[in-house]
Amino acid sequence: MAGIEHIQVEPDEAGMRLDRWFKVHFPGLGFGQLQKLLRSGQVRVDGGRVKTDARVQPGQVVRVPPLDVDAKALKSGPIGGNDLKHAGDGELLARMLLHEDEKVFVLNKPAGLAVQGGSGLTRHIDKMLEAWTSKKGEKPRLVHRLDRDTSGVLVVARTRGAAQKLTAAFRERDTKKTYWSLVKGVPRKHEDKISTWLVKEATPDGDRMRIAKHGEEGADHAISYYRVLEMAAQSLAWLEMEPYTGRTHQLRVHALHIGHPIIGDPKYFDDDPNWDFPGGVQKRLHLHARHIDIPHPNGGRLRVTAPLPPHMVQTWNLLGLDMASAGEPDDE
């Protein structure tokens, strides 16, 4: 049984009822048990007594006493900032797990967690995978990557042989990766191909990609496809995006290139004084690796879909976007 915890409410939990907040964080705790803890003052918010229908706000601190429930059920639901700081590597990876077999793990990477190390990074998935080293001493291997601010499907090989086959599938473009994004404005063409050259340049805010001239030194060809799935009042568009090539920040730069940058993009979305950022939408990158279709190392195809991160669920609900309208393929 764990000791007393003090958990800070995350920005994407704004306005959530307290009983719902407990259901997300501690699904093994029954409603009756929660009511008893509230009546006796063992559960408090910012030090004060509250009722089950109280609405929590970002930054508030919930006091959680030791809970006599199944330890495996204690933590589930969306992975927030506190989890990324304090939860163990093995626990976090288990909560990200979407698919597992003898050759492959597929994770739902949360936004804000880096895939590989870099300057100033103390935690990243590549290092965390050491927690899942096999009895033979084999650590799972990354076979592709996602930007730190991008959430969604991340494929990890469990063996050296699986890594070779999966890496080859990405290199030979025998994979189909589908992303969901929310962009500023509505593209004139509701379905199109974007083909440009991209080059990396250093800026005071770190490396950034830009559109390059054909033949410019260091430039790579990049091709993306997109289609509009739904619009919100002609001011926002929900896009399904598919990168044919796999260049750094490709979808983010291509969205900017067609005049419709991705909402909340810290690198490529510039504030426009003539455009109001939608109220209630968090300024976090609205780009999610939704689905992957890739050859399985044992044969056949592996198809996996990742649920949206909390900040995008909040936006979709706010705008009334209907996820069922996307017409996605079924996973196998």
Residue 31 amino acid letter: F
Token pair for 100: 């597992």
Q: Which residue has the tokens 């399904």?
A: 240
Closest C-alpha to 54, from 75, 29, 34 = 34
Mention the CATH class of domain 3-62.
Answer: alpha beta
Residue 105 has pLDDT above 50, yes or no: yes
Residue 142 has pLDDT above 90, yes or no: yes
Res 274: pLDDT: 76
- Considering the candidates 12, 53, 70, 147, report the single residue annotated as catalytic: 147
Token pair for 196: 């440009």
> DSSP label at 78?
S
Who's near 194: CB < 8 A, 6+ residues apart?
Answer: 222, 223, 224, 225, 226, 254, 257, 258
- Residue 114 pairs in a beta bridge with 124
Mean predicted confidence (pLDDT) in 26-41:
83
> DSSP label at 60?
-
Burial class of residue 89 in the structure, from the number of CB atoms within 10 Å of its CB (0-12 exposed, 13-18 middle, 19+ buried): middle
290 within 8 A of 178, measured Cβ to Cβ: yes
Which is more confident, 122 or 332? 122
Res 77: pLDDT: 62
Phi, psi of 65 (to 5 degrees): -75, 175
CA pair distance 234, 214, nearest whole angstrom: 34
DSSP structure string for 231-248? EETTTEEEEEEEESS--T
Res 19: pLDDT: 85
CA pair distance 159, 78, nearest whole angstrom: 28
108 within 8 A of 151, measured Cβ to Cβ: yes
Res 1: pLDDT: 40
Percent of the chain having pLDDT more than 70?
93
pLDDT band for position 137 (cuts 50, 70, 90): confident
pTM (predicted TM-score): 0.76
Phi, psi of 311 (to 5 degrees): -70, -30
| Alpha-carbon distances, residue 210 vs 193, 259, 271 (angstroms) | 18, 14, 18
277 within 8 A of 217, measured Cβ to Cβ: no
162 within 8 A of 187, measured Cβ to Cβ: no
CA pair distance 312, 230, nearest whole angstrom: 15
Residue 63 amino acid letter: R
Residue 5 has pLDDT above 60, yes or no: yes
The neighbour count for residue 208, using CB atoms within 10 Å, is 16
Q: Which residue ranges make up each domain of the chain?
A: 3-62
147 given a catalytic annotation: yes
154 within 8 A of 107, measured Cβ to Cβ: yes
Residue 5's SS3 state is: strand
Lowest mean pLDDT of 43-57, 273-287, 288-302, name the range.
273-287
Residue 218 has pLDDT above 50, yes or no: yes
Token pair for 267: 């690198």
The neighbour count for residue 257, using CB atoms within 10 Å, is 17
Lowest mean pLDDT of 55-69, 125-139, 307-321, name the range.
55-69
Closest C-alpha to 125, from 101, 150, 107 = 107
